[in-house]
């Protein structure tokens, strides 16, 4: 069993999401690369960047979001699930649902602003 350095709840959610995407550990090629950027000596001396390749689809993910290799492994798998969900046309990803919700909110606000502007009307100088 893989440990990712996150809470058990988040780990379970990731494993469920991977199962829903038909993403198995056997289908992943994982390599560790030396990270770059901020993080000091720890980042410069250890290979914390995670590179994942999904062998069946050819999708690739490179993650160096955190200083911890375990966390980067978690983030890389989560990103791979996002990419697989985006590639699957029949399902809508959580990000797509969030974008749609925000789009509807903005449209609703625009309609309200137009009706409110129409009721009061712009002030005219005489």
User: Which is more confident, 74 or 45?
Assistant: 74
Q: Compute φ and ψ for 60, nearest 5 degrees.
A: -125, 145
Classified by CATH at the fold level, domain 1-87 comes out as Double Stranded RNA Binding Domain (3.30.160)
Domain segments of the chain as ranges? 1-87, 91-118
Once rounded to an integer, what is the mean pLDDT over residues 113-123? 73
The answer to which of 5-14, 48-57, 92-101 has the lowest mean pLDDT is 92-101
pLDDT digits over 4-47, tens only?
A: 788 889 999 999 999 988 899 999 999 999 877 776 777 778 88
pLDDT (0 to 100) of residue 94: 73
pTM greater than 0.75 (yes/no): no
């Amino acid at each position: 069993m893989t440990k990712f350095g996150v809470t058990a709840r988040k780990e379970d959610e990731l494993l469920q999401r991977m199962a829903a995407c038909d993403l198995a550990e056997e289908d992943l090629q994982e390599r560790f690369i030396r990270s770059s950027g901020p993080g000091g000596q720890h980042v410069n001396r250890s290979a914390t960047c995670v590179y994942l390749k999904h062998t069946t689809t050819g999708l690739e993910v490179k993650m160096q979001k955190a200083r911890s290799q375990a966390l980067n492994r978690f983030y890389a798998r989560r990103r791979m699930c996002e990419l697989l969900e985006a590639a699957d046309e029949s399902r809508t990803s959580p990000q797509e649902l969030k974008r749609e919700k925000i789009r509807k909110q903005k449209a609703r606000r625009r309609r309200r602003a137009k009706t409110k502007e129409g009721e009061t009307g712009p002030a005219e100088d005489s």
